[in-house]
Chains A and B, each alone.
Chain A
Amino acid sequence: MKGPQDLDRLSNLTRRYAEYGGRKAGLIGVYGGLLLALPAGLGTGLALGRVLVQRTGSGPWPSFWQPFLYATGKLPLWLMLLTWSTPLLFLLGSAPLRRTLYQPFGPVKAIEPAPKRPAPNGKLLWGCFAALMGTLLLGFALGWFQGEEAFFLRVTGAILLGGVFVAMVRSRQPREDELALALLLWGNAALAAASPAGLWALTSWLFSALGLVTMACGVWQHQAYLRLRRELEQLAPPGQP
């Protein structure tokens, strides 16, 4: 340590390193974004395939579109299972990824959010979200919503999910990126649940777009982490100040 600049640098390195203990998702965001975009992308493919086949008779590559055309009113079983398994795949994969990828020099916890950003906001958001999703799921299961009404509710649900995502990121909860991703994956799965294939494919674009944005953010965060790691590795090895 040579002067105040070194102290500032130490402080800066510590803050940046601590962010990868939970606040920043990095490559975990890429993994989650991929899981989010995959079923939604396939769903969109399903809808496009149907449109193409309806317009051109057999479509340009019938064998390619064939898997998407199993059901006219429901999602194919494999797509349904894939969508439903994404939140679980994310939760199972994110912890080992974080353990192996980030904080190689031991865990450092970031300073908790300031008291002016209280937890009740987060709890309120979770409560609203749980109530909304619970009502929607129950409604779909009991067949309350049909036709345009159901479509409207799904679109509203998707927009609300986007809102919850933004609010969670702004409320700076620990592991907020991962929580928001798990939330989106769960929402995607919930919306896919009893939806006719065509309607789900129409609402799935939002999840697909969010997945792509998350992946881009994850890559950007990971690049920042690699720069930080290089800086830490350039420091004098322990014992040789």
Chain B
Amino acid sequence: MTRREEAKSQAILALDRIVHEPARLAILTVLASAEEVAFLFLQRVTGMSKGNLSSHTQKLEAVGYLETVKAFQGRIPVTSFRITEDGRTALRLYHQQLRSLLPKEGKP
């Protein structure tokens, strides 16, 4: 293994596993595009089931990447999510790491 390949594999290992999972990446991408997002909308755009979405949001909340906001719209309870500053930083870092792993244009 060349030194370059070794560095690449190190960079892959350094990727944030929490963000790297496709469903959680989709959740964080949606949350980063708005101030606060309702559970129902998140479910609609990601196409996940209620249980699946709950499980992923709980994992993201446990590491401090999002926070849950519970409110009432009239008499209807609405659960929403908000990305935290840590979550935003993790997503930004993940994008940077991925970009650095991709081959530059014109190079193999």
Contact = CB atoms under 8 A, between A and B. Distances in A.
At the interface, is chain B mostly helix, strand, loop or mixed?
Answer: helix
A18 B31 CA distance: 11
Nearest to A240: B47
B33 A106 contact: no
Nearest to B82: A109
Query: What 6 pairs across the A-B complex have the smallest Cβ distances?
Result: A106-B38, A106-B40, A239-B49, A14-B33, A109-B35, A241-B47
B50 interface: yes
A112 B35 contact: yes
A115 interface: no
Given A103-B41, A107-B73, 7 more contacts: A7-B26, A10-B30, A18-B34, A107-B41, A111-B34, A238-B43, A241-B47
Nearest to A3: B22
9 contacts: A1-B22, A1-B25, A10-B30, A12-B33, A14-B30, A18-B35, A106-B37, A109-B34, A240-B47
Interface stretch (A64-72, A177-185, A229-237): A229-237
Q: Give chain B's interface residue range (CB within 8 Å of chain A).
A: 20 to 34
Contact of B33 (A18, A236, A239): A18
Given A7-B29, A238-B49, A108 B22 contact: no
A106 B78 contact: yes
Interface of A: 1, 6-7, 10-15, 17-18, 103, 105-112, 232, 235-241
Contacts of B100: none
B45 interface: yes
B34 A236 contact: no
Contact of A238 (B22, B35, B50): B50
A237 B30 contact: no
A239 B23 CA distance: 12
A241 B35 CA distance: 25
Interface string B35-57: 11111110111111110100000
